[in-house]
Every structure is written in structure tokens, then in C-alpha cells.
Chain A
Amino acid sequence: MYSFEFAKPKTIDEAVAALAGEEAQALGGGQTLLPTMKQRLAAPATLVSLNSIPEMIGVCVNDAGHVCIGGATPHAVVAREAAAHYPALAALAGHIGDPAVRNRGTIGGSLANNDPSACYPAAALGSGAVIKTNTRDIAADDYFLGMFETALNEGEIITEVRFPVPQKVNYQKFVQPASRFALVGVFVAKYADGVRVAVTGASSDGVFRWAEAEAALNADFSKAAIDALSPPEGTMISDLHGTDAYRAHLVKVMTGRAVAAA
């Protein structure tokens, strides 16, 4: 790790101001950023911690019935406080990493990082969530731009994420045996206006919606509906934990299981 300055703003405005500085970077739970810094692969001049901004922490339900989660809310808090309002989301948060990771890691950090194997991107895309930043609202469909790529601008921070609550929903996470991130994770959510199927872990373009499965499930929300489909193989990640063919196969298996469990 190289040395750096540390800022601990109390409001979003202060944080935005601090992030305008030369080579300043936001710090959520540090679960991704700090290991990268320790390996000397990242060297921000200033770390701006988002962990002491009360307006960015916590879970609530707004008038529209959407579950709203502050951008700096740790996974463990979501697991606890969203349980009554959006159990599938709480369960997803409760299975990220281990207790230490869940107590530090935040939803904003996870979505900003957009790791191709992370769980929250599947929940956000699968729920058609709105990602609120200090400047605008971004629909999940417009937010994820590929592996580690998002619509966020330099210095823009995720202040809140709003999730519409589906009628039926389930997240199936097939863990990579070492990291226990999602080797393949499938989030299936049925809303009044249609089914959304978001897949994480599998594609080299990051989280994506499996349109074919959505169409089939819109017609018939059953496991049998997807039996004849085959996920798009060519774009899948191939690495030591699984070939592209294996991942494509798992996408289908996990989608089926999610539908059955929803």
C-alpha cells in the first residue's frame, strides 16, 4: 500500500466536494478497494470514506412501496432490515462473502465496482431498480455497461438504490468454490408487468438479462418453460473454475431452480 490522505465527510455534499480533489476516490466498505491498494494496484491520493454519512445508511420503504437502501449500507444491515420488506433481497445480501465482508461491504461499493461475479448487480437488474446518485436517477437497465463498467461518472456517488418489490422472486447462487462469489447467479423476479431474469457471474459482458427466458416465463412461469432454451454460449466466461459451456449450462439449471423456488 502507498500512503494516502483520508477524508471522512458527514454529508453527501461534503463527500462530493472532497471527491473533486486530485486523485480522490470513494471508499465504501473497502472490501475490494483495500486489497487492491495493498497489492499496490491502486494508489488514490485521497480516500473519501462514505461510511459516516447518515443520509446514506439504512433501509426504508417509500410511498411507492419501493425498498430504498442507502448507498453506504453494509450487506449485513440489508440482510437484517430488508428481511420484512424484500426477503429475497435480504437473503441475497446475507449470503455475500462472510460476516466480516458483510459487516463492511456496501451496496454502493458493490454496484459501483460491478464485479462480473457479484450478487447485487443481479438483484438490481433483476428488480429493475433505480440507482440514485448525487446528480441523477439511473435505471438499472441503463446502468450496467459491462465488466467493471457502469454509467457512473468520475466522482459520482451512489446515494441510494430503490427496489420495486416483485410478486414472485428467487435468487439462485452457484458459488465459485474458492471465493464463494457467484460462479453463476440467477435472479428471477415476476412483476405485474412481466418477468425479469438477471444473470451474474457467467458473461464476460458482466450482468445481463436473459431475454429469451423472460419471454418464455412471461408466457408460462414454470421451470418447464425454459427446458428447451439454451443460454447464449459464446459470450460466457471461461476460466479455471468453469468453461463457457459449463457456465451456460449452469445459467439454465439455476434459472430453473429459481423459477421453481420463487
Chain B
Amino acid sequence: MSKFGTSQPVTRLEDTRFLTGKGRYVDDIAPAHALHAFVFRSTAAHGVITALDVSEAREAPGVHLILTAADLAEAGLKNAMKYSPVKNGDGSRPPLPARPILAEGRVRFVGEPVAFVVAETLAEAKDAAELIVLELDDRPAKLDIAPGGEVLHEVAPDNVAYDFAMGDAAATEAALAGAAHVVTHTSHDNRVIVNSMEPRGCYAEPEGERIHLAVNGQGVWGTKGELAKWLGWPEDRVRVTNPDVGGGFGMKGMNYPENLLVAQAARMLGHPVRWMGERTESMLSDNGGRDLIVTTTLGFDAELRLVAFRTDSLSNMGAYPSNFGMNIQSSLYSKVLTGTYDVQTYHFRNRGIYTSTTQIDAYRGAGRPEAIYALERAMDFAARELGVDPLELRRRNFIARAQFPYRSATGELYDVGDFHRVLARAEACADLAGFAERRAASEAEGKLRGLGLCYYIESILGDPSETATIEITQTGAKVYVGTQSNGQGHETVYAQLLHDQTGLPLDSIEIVQGDSDLIAHGGGTGGSRSVTVQGMAMRATAETLITGLTAFLAEDMDRADIAFDAEEGVFRAPGSNVVVTLIEAAGRARAAGRGDLVQVTETQTLPGRSYPNGCHITELEIDRDTGVVRIDRYTVVDDFGNLMNPRLAEGQVHGGVVQGIGQALTEHVVFDAEGQLLTATFMDYGMPRADDTPFIAFYTEAVPSTANPLGMKGCGEAGTVGALAAVANAVQDALWPLGLRQVDMPFTPARVWEMLQHAERIAAE
């Protein structure tokens, strides 16, 4: 195996570009003469619009265009963003309120777009926006995640967006009634602001009869379809591109009002228009993540085996249904509802609740970290309540190796897995045997020490099909892919894959992504799908390419025995000196009019999903005097199947774990009673930093997937899925001896100190 091929820890090819300022992010490449757009947003969380007057702003210096809801109507454009509904548990359709592009009649969250100002310069656009008069009849904000309260949408009078259900309520009730032990646990999975390093931004430019929209998204085709439909144009008049993207995490996977408005403005003005979000603007208007309250009820038999499982949750939708807002905490959550445990009797209910806050949608893991968080908190809690070792309770309930392929209660077909093996390795790697001693040492210093475990499983999501086109050029190869790197390092991994099959040097391989004109269809990035599905498509394409060129050479050179040597990257005929490089072979085919052999396209569909799983173990210390939580040790053992690039996989785990630690320890979204976001800058919103983060010990224990030819399992979201409960359970472990039974993220010093005060009150009683 070459040292540049798959399974090798090749360093990232794209990093030189990114780290030397040569990245091409959307705000770097917008046409220099583009007009600047500024979004005038609501500063109130809820109010009826009694007046919106932009007449003075229209006359302001440098202004070219102002769009309001009324202007969209005048242009014959529908004032509604697309979203994907779910069905209620009883099969009925939930109310489907419109999500306006520009506020119409009412504003429902701080940051909601009200008017779109286009001017020569950004300063002029902002100056003009100051002249806009928006009068509101203020209404109370609706902030709690519970049915009822101030009505936001007339069609949903109790603020319930939908009432999703799966499973058998009666059977679950009966099984719980007959269970030897029943444990109920409620957890709050706190809201986060995604905060991609690069805020959202886009520009649009007319190209003859067409419009080109460049946006820092997670795939171009969904945006293209929605934009073309909205503009009332055939799809071939719309081109969407994604340049380099500085982080998406699901948040950038959705279309946003600004993308449509920039395109419409460019169309109306016949001139390029650009928009770039500022940090506070992003914090107010990017789809948020998480924010749900989950009550999990576990029924065990006398041997502590699960016999019934019930989940009832309320999730925050924000003010409007966003693209997948209704799907995340319902259907996507259900994919791993019962995790790695063997239980078939279940019921799952989830209600989405409208609140006067920014929409909530997918965030790294999209429903699966949320499901695993609630489940692993509840399992851990059950172990403590039932007086059994948390590892032991999990071992008793794991799906056994012999049970695979295993159809989970919610219908997922887990292909392979060996949870016992992974847990045993984690137990050893994390040195659980030495924990008691470490705890004693902490206590001697007046600190509390806690140990937390999370065993997670993830189901890979996203489009199961992908296409690859490989073109052999004069110097190497171009590969056209349907996925979209947001910084993960796809260019490196795809080059490694093609290197394996063709012997072409890594630096001769160019990966082309994110251009709807060059690539007809693709699934973008999301759901940890990219390398598995794109890798499979590339493999098939490379095989077709090599097969075609081998046959061509055999005929052209009249050597039936010619064969390709992938290691060397040359065609050879046994027993002769004939050596033809891949590039030479392509040249011959081209000269012979066989361009079809040089540029080849294949589409592949995954036979099944893969299910990465693993164990995270956190050990932390709590300073009793201040409430500060410091993570001391962090161990991950993952089963990602075969690794395409161990270094990049580990990097994904590091990033995911740190995002999880951020949510657990520092990221705290706070609204005041009026619905104003108090944490709208980094002065108040705490992103995790390097010194909040321990060294993360990472090991793998591979059970290759049988659901794809590469034997791999997606690894992009796994770190986040495992981290939340591992950290929270460790805090719970540290505080359990003090009598504390309810601990919720985020564990900021102030909140933990309040918990410690509460413990003192308990002790005093």
C-alpha cells in the first residue's frame, strides 16, 4: 500500500491554501463592483407591524433598491421559504404556517428580516436602513418550550407545531406497568448558536439570461431548485456555486432568505449584489441548534434488562418551521432512539413548539446527538438509582454481536457492531481501574471528581446516492463530486482514494465541487455521508475508466493481455516492455476520438446505512469554591469501520468532541423576558477554547461495515454525539454524593455553583 493511499495519515492538501490566505471564500471573490446589501431586521421579538415606511430610505444617497414583503408581492414572488413538514402521530397534517422571506404583518423574532437594502456601499446601505420606519404593536414574547402561551401563528393556537409519534403506546404502557423497575429521567438539551467561523454570505450576478448565485452552503442543488422555482425560471437559467466554506455544521445546509433576495436584487438591477453577515447578525439569524426537554422512561425486568422504553419530548422550533426544523427532533431523532440497547417495546412522542426566537434546525448530528444524550443520561441515571455499575447496566442491555444484522425498534437495520469489545477497550484505555485513586487525590485538594460514560451509535443520513465524474487530463485527473467540503478535508481523502486506484500522485488530482453547471446532481455535505457515498461512486467510476482504457489499449496495441498496475499507475503487457502511463493511455484514446473513455461518470447508491458507534469517557474535576468544571481526561474508542485517513478521522472526532464540550460547559444562549438575545456577541456567548479542552485520547476498534464496499462508517458527527452525555454524566457523578439528582447543561461556573448551593440546602434539611 502506498503511503499516500487510503488508510494512510496523509496531511491535508487544502491546508496550505487555507493557512496562507489563499482560500476563496465568498466574500473574497464577490465581484469588486457588486452593490452591497444590508438586511434591516426586527429588533422586537413579537409585534404586529402597524407601519413600514421605506420611502425616505429609498431616496438616500447610493441606494439602488429596497425590497419589502409588499415589493415581493408586487413582483409576483411568493413570500414563503420552503420547508419539509412531518405528519402528526395520528396521521393528520400539522398546521403549516408560512415562513416569510421578509416579515409580513407580524415580526416573530429578533433578527427577522424586514427589508432588504441595496446600495453602492455597505455604509450607504446601513445609512439608508436607519431611515426605515418600522412601527410595531408590541406583543408579549413566547419563550417557554411548552404548549400554550402567547399565540404566534393563528393556525397553531396552542403553539404546537406538530405532534409526532412512533411505536405502540398501549404495549409500552403495559410493559412499564409490569416492569420490575421503572426509572424516569428528564433532561434539557440546551440551545446553541452554531457560530461557524465564517458567517453566512452570498453574492449573485446576472450572466446573460441567467443568474449565478454563489453562497457558502453545504451543496448547490437544493438551493438551485428552490431559487429557480421561486424566480419562476427554468432550472437551466440558474447556476449556484459553493466556494470554500468556513464551517457549516448543518446550519449552512439550509436555504435562507438572503440567498433568494440577493438573487432577486441582482435580477432586478441587472447588476451583481453581495451580502455578508456580521457576527451578531449571524447569531440572531442563523438557525440555532438543540433546545429540547426530553423525558425518558425506562422499564427493566428483575435482571435489569430493558423491557420498555418511552420518550416524550418538547422541542423548540423557533418562530417558524425552518427547512428541516420539523424533522430533526422527530424522525431523525428516532433513528437512534434506543441506541445500542436491545429493546423492542417502545413509544416515542415529540411535540415541536413555536417560540418567538430564531428558527432551530440541524446542528452537527441533527437529532442523533439529542437522542443519544437523553438516552445515555437516562441509562446512567437508572444505573445510579438501581445501584448497579453504569458499565454493567449497559453491558446487560447491549445488542449482542450474534444479533447482527439487527433491526432496531424504530426500524433501522444495524449491519454490524461489537459494543462489548469497544466498551472493554475504553474501560482499559481510560484506566477506570485507577479512578478511585484519582478521585481520592482530588478530594484531598478539596475538589470533586466525576467519571462519565456515553455509549453512542449514529446512523448515517443524507442522500444515499452520489455521482462521480473522473476526467484524465494532460497532467493528472479532475474529479467532479456531488459532495461539498466545509473544511473537513475532502480534497485530501478523495485524492487518496483515486491515488489508490490509479497511482496518480496526489498533487496531480484536482477535486471539483460545488458548481451546478459543472456537476448535474449531488447530495452535498450532511449526515456524515460524504466519504462513504462519494468514495463508493469514485471507486465505481475509476473501475469503469480503467476497464475502458484497458480494453481500448488491448485493441489499439493488439495486446489482449494488457493490464493495469494500480500501484505504479501504468498499463503493462506481461513478458514485454510495453509500459503505458494512464495519462498516455488517455491521450491515445482522445486522439482516436474516444473522449468517452477519458471522461467517465458513474452513479452509485449505498446498499445500506452504516452505524458508527463508540464510547466516550470523561473525567473531570469541580472546584467546590467556584463551580469551575475542568475536564482532566477524555478517552474515545470508536468503531468507524475502515478508516480512509486516520488523521482526518481523528480530527473530526477532536472537532466534534470540542463542540460537544462547548455545549456542555460554555455555550449558553440566554434570552431576556422580552425575547432579546443577551448572548449576541462573543463577549457573552462562550465558545470553547483550547484551554477548556483536554488532550483527547483516540483509539479505534474497527468492525468494518457490510453496508458499503469500503467497509467504512461516517465519522463527521460522531464526536459531538458522544461528548454531551459523557461530560454531563461525569458532572452528575461528581455531584451525586452531594444528593444532587438533576443536573442540566450548560455547566458554567455560575450554574454549577448554584447547584452546589442547592446541595448545601439539601444537606441542611
Q: Interface on A for B, CB 8 Å cutoff?
A: 1-3, 40, 174, 177-179, 181, 183, 240-243, 246, 249-250, 253
Evaluate whether A174 and B626 lie within 8 angstroms (CB atoms) in the complex, with A240-B678, A249-B753 already known: yes
User: A260 vs B577: C-alpha distance in the bound complex, in angstroms?
Assistant: 82
Residue B123 at the chain A interface, CB threshold 8 Å = yes
Q: From B627, which residue of chain A is reached at the shortest CB distance? A: A246
Q: A40-B126, A178-B684 are in contact. List 12 more A-B contacts (CB 8 A).
A: A1-B123, A2-B123, A3-B123, A177-B665, A177-B666, A178-B666, A178-B679, A179-B683, A240-B668, A242-B750, A246-B627, A253-B625
- The digit string for B209-226, where 1 denotes a CB below 8 A from any CB of A, is 000000000000000000
Measured CB to CB, the closest approach of chain A to B39, in angstroms, equals 15
Q: How many A-B residue pairs have CB under 8 A?
A: 45
Measured CB to CB, the closest approach of chain B to A148, in angstroms, equals 15
Q: Which residues of A contact B123 (CB under 8 A)?
A: 1-3
Residue B682 at the chain A interface, CB threshold 8 Å = yes
Measured CB to CB, the closest approach of chain B to A184, in angstroms, equals 9
Q: Which residues of A contact B626 (CB under 8 A)?
A: 174, 250, 253
User: Is B684's CB under 8 angstroms from A179's CB?
Assistant: yes
Measured CB to CB, the closest approach of chain A to B631, in angstroms, equals 14
Residue B749 at the chain A interface, CB threshold 8 Å = yes
User: Is B748's CB under 8 angstroms from A241's CB?
Assistant: yes
Q: From B757, which residue of chain A is reached at the shortest CB distance? A: A245
User: A222 vs B567: C-alpha distance in the bound complex, in angstroms?
Assistant: 73
User: A3 vs B670: C-alpha distance in the bound complex, in angstroms?
Assistant: 34
User: Is B750's CB under 8 angstroms from A243's CB?
Assistant: yes
Q: Which residues of B contact A179 (CB under 8 A)?
A: 682-684
User: Is A177's CB under 8 angstroms from B686's CB?
Assistant: yes
Q: From B692, which residue of chain A is reached at the shortest CB distance? A: A177
Q: Which residues of A contact B753 (CB under 8 A)?
A: 242, 246, 249
User: A71 vs B123: C-alpha distance in the bound complex, in angstroms?
Assistant: 33
User: Is A241's CB under 8 angstroms from B750's CB?
Assistant: yes
User: A177 vs B670: C-alpha distance in the bound complex, in angstroms?
Assistant: 14
Measured CB to CB, the closest approach of chain B to A70, in angstroms, equals 28
Q: From B280, which residue of chain A is reached at the shortest CB distance? A: A39
Q: Which residues of A contact B627 (CB under 8 A)?
A: 246
Measured CB to CB, the closest approach of chain B to A97, in angstroms, equals 11
Q: From A240, which residue of chain B is reached at the shortest CB distance? A: B670
| CB interface residues, B 679-698, toward A, < 8 Å | 679, 682-687
| CB interface residues, B 732-765, toward A, < 8 Å | 748-750, 753-754
User: A249 vs B756: C-alpha distance in the bound complex, in angstroms?
Assistant: 13
Q: From B122, which residue of chain A is reached at the shortest CB distance? A: A1
User: A242 vs B627: C-alpha distance in the bound complex, in angstroms?
Assistant: 11
User: Is A240's CB under 8 angstroms from B679's CB?
Assistant: yes
Q: Interface on B for A, CB 8 Å cutoff?
A: 123, 126, 625-627, 665-666, 668, 670, 678-679, 682-687, 748-750, 753-754
Chain B interface SS verdict (over half): loop
Measured CB to CB, the closest approach of chain B to A200, in angstroms, equals 16
Q: From A40, which residue of chain B is reached at the shortest CB distance? A: B126
Q: From B623, which residue of chain A is reached at the shortest CB distance? A: A253
Measured CB to CB, the closest approach of chain A to B479, in angstroms, equals 39
Measured CB to CB, the closest approach of chain B to A185, in angstroms, equals 13
16 A-B interface contacts by CB (under 8 A): A1-B123, A2-B123, A3-B123, A174-B626, A178-B683, A178-B684, A179-B684, A240-B668, A240-B670, A241-B748, A241-B750, A242-B749, A243-B754, A246-B753, A249-B753, A250-B626
Measured CB to CB, the closest approach of chain B to A28, in angstroms, equals 19
Evaluate whether A178 and B685 lie within 8 angstroms (CB atoms) in the complex, with A40-B126, A240-B679 already known: yes
User: A242 vs B626: C-alpha distance in the bound complex, in angstroms?
Assistant: 11
User: A206 vs B670: C-alpha distance in the bound complex, in angstroms?
Assistant: 24
User: A40 vs B177: C-alpha distance in the bound complex, in angstroms?
Assistant: 62
Measured CB to CB, the closest approach of chain B to A11, in angstroms, equals 33
Q: Which residues of A contact B754 (CB under 8 A)?
A: 243, 246
Q: From B679, which residue of chain A is reached at the shortest CB distance? A: A240
Q: Which residues of A contact B679 (CB under 8 A)?
A: 178, 240
User: A234 vs B550: C-alpha distance in the bound complex, in angstroms?
Assistant: 85
User: Is A177's CB under 8 angstroms from B683's CB?
Assistant: no
Q: From A250, which residue of chain B is reached at the shortest CB distance? A: B626
Q: Which residues of B contact A178 (CB under 8 A)?
A: 666, 679, 682-687
What are the 5 tightest A-B residue pairs by CB atom distance, in nearest-first order? A178-B686, A242-B750, A179-B683, A177-B686, A240-B670
Measured CB to CB, the closest approach of chain A to B502, in angstroms, equals 45
User: A243 vs B751: C-alpha distance in the bound complex, in angstroms?
Assistant: 10
User: A240 vs B681: C-alpha distance in the bound complex, in angstroms?
Assistant: 13
Q: Which residues of B contact A174 (CB under 8 A)?
A: 626, 749
Q: From A178, which residue of chain B is reached at the shortest CB distance? A: B686
Measured CB to CB, the closest approach of chain B to A178, in angstroms, equals 4
Q: Which residues of B contact A1 (CB under 8 A)?
A: 123
User: A243 vs B626: C-alpha distance in the bound complex, in angstroms?
Assistant: 13
Measured CB to CB, the closest approach of chain B to A202, in angstroms, equals 13
Measured CB to CB, the closest approach of chain B to A250, in angstroms, equals 7
User: Is B682's CB under 8 angstroms from A177's CB?
Assistant: no
Q: Which residues of A contact B668 (CB under 8 A)?
A: 240
Q: Which residues of B contact A241 (CB under 8 A)?
A: 684, 748, 750
User: Is A177's CB under 8 angstroms from B749's CB?
Assistant: yes
Q: From A256, which residue of chain B is reached at the shortest CB distance? A: B625
Measured CB to CB, the closest approach of chain B to A22, in angstroms, equals 21
User: A253 vs B628: C-alpha distance in the bound complex, in angstroms?
Assistant: 13
Q: Which of A3, A174, A240, A242 is the most central at the interface, judged by chain B CB atoms within 10 Å of its CB? A: A240
Measured CB to CB, the closest approach of chain B to A117, in angstroms, equals 10
User: A250 vs B750: C-alpha distance in the bound complex, in angstroms?
Assistant: 10
Q: Which residues of A contact B748 (CB under 8 A)?
A: 177, 241
Q: From B130, which residue of chain A is reached at the shortest CB distance? A: A40
Q: From A39, which residue of chain B is reached at the shortest CB distance? A: B280
User: A227 vs B626: C-alpha distance in the bound complex, in angstroms?
Assistant: 16
User: A1 vs B123: C-alpha distance in the bound complex, in angstroms?
Assistant: 7
User: A40 vs B127: C-alpha distance in the bound complex, in angstroms?
Assistant: 10
Q: From A179, which residue of chain B is reached at the shortest CB distance? A: B683
Q: From B278, which residue of chain A is reached at the shortest CB distance? A: A38
User: A2 vs B754: C-alpha distance in the bound complex, in angstroms?
Assistant: 44
Q: Which residues of A contact B750 (CB under 8 A)?
A: 241-243, 246
Q: Which of B670, B682, B683 is the most central at the interface, judged by chain A CB atoms within 10 Å of its CB? A: B683
Measured CB to CB, the closest approach of chain A to B761, in angstroms, equals 13
Q: Which residues of B contact A243 (CB under 8 A)?
A: 750, 754
Measured CB to CB, the closest approach of chain B to A188, in angstroms, equals 17
Q: Which of B126, B625, B627, B750 is the most central at the interface, judged by chain A CB atoms within 10 Å of its CB? A: B750
Q: Which of B625, B678, B679, B687 is the most central at the interface, judged by chain A CB atoms within 10 Å of its CB? A: B625
Q: Which residues of B contact A2 (CB under 8 A)?
A: 123
Measured CB to CB, the closest approach of chain B to A115, in angstroms, equals 11
Q: Which of A1, A177, A178, A253 is the most central at the interface, judged by chain B CB atoms within 10 Å of its CB? A: A177
Measured CB to CB, the closest approach of chain B to A216, in angstroms, equals 19
Q: From B669, which residue of chain A is reached at the shortest CB distance? A: A240
User: A28 vs B289: C-alpha distance in the bound complex, in angstroms?
Assistant: 39
User: A250 vs B504: C-alpha distance in the bound complex, in angstroms?
Assistant: 62
User: A3 vs B627: C-alpha distance in the bound complex, in angstroms?
Assistant: 45
User: A242 vs B666: C-alpha distance in the bound complex, in angstroms?
Assistant: 13
Q: Which residues of A contact B686 (CB under 8 A)?
A: 177-178
Q: Which residues of B contact A242 (CB under 8 A)?
A: 749-750, 753
Measured CB to CB, the closest approach of chain B to A73, in angstroms, equals 24
Q: Which of A2, A179, A181, A253 is the most central at the interface, judged by chain B CB atoms within 10 Å of its CB? A: A179
Q: From B750, which residue of chain A is reached at the shortest CB distance? A: A242
Measured CB to CB, the closest approach of chain A to B753, in angstroms, equals 6
User: A253 vs B123: C-alpha distance in the bound complex, in angstroms?
Assistant: 48
Q: From A254, which residue of chain B is reached at the shortest CB distance? A: B626
Q: From B668, which residue of chain A is reached at the shortest CB distance? A: A240
Q: Which of A181, A183, A241, A253 is the most central at the interface, judged by chain B CB atoms within 10 Å of its CB? A: A241
User: A181 vs B683: C-alpha distance in the bound complex, in angstroms?
Assistant: 9
Measured CB to CB, the closest approach of chain B to A260, in angstroms, equals 12
Q: Which residues of A contact B666 (CB under 8 A)?
A: 177-178
Q: Which residues of A contact B670 (CB under 8 A)?
A: 240
User: A243 vs B684: C-alpha distance in the bound complex, in angstroms?
Assistant: 15
User: Is A240's CB under 8 angstroms from B625's CB?
Assistant: no
Q: Which residues of A contact B749 (CB under 8 A)?
A: 174, 177, 183, 242
User: A183 vs B626: C-alpha distance in the bound complex, in angstroms?
Assistant: 11
Q: Which residues of B contact A40 (CB under 8 A)?
A: 126
Q: Which residues of B contact A246 (CB under 8 A)?
A: 627, 750, 753-754
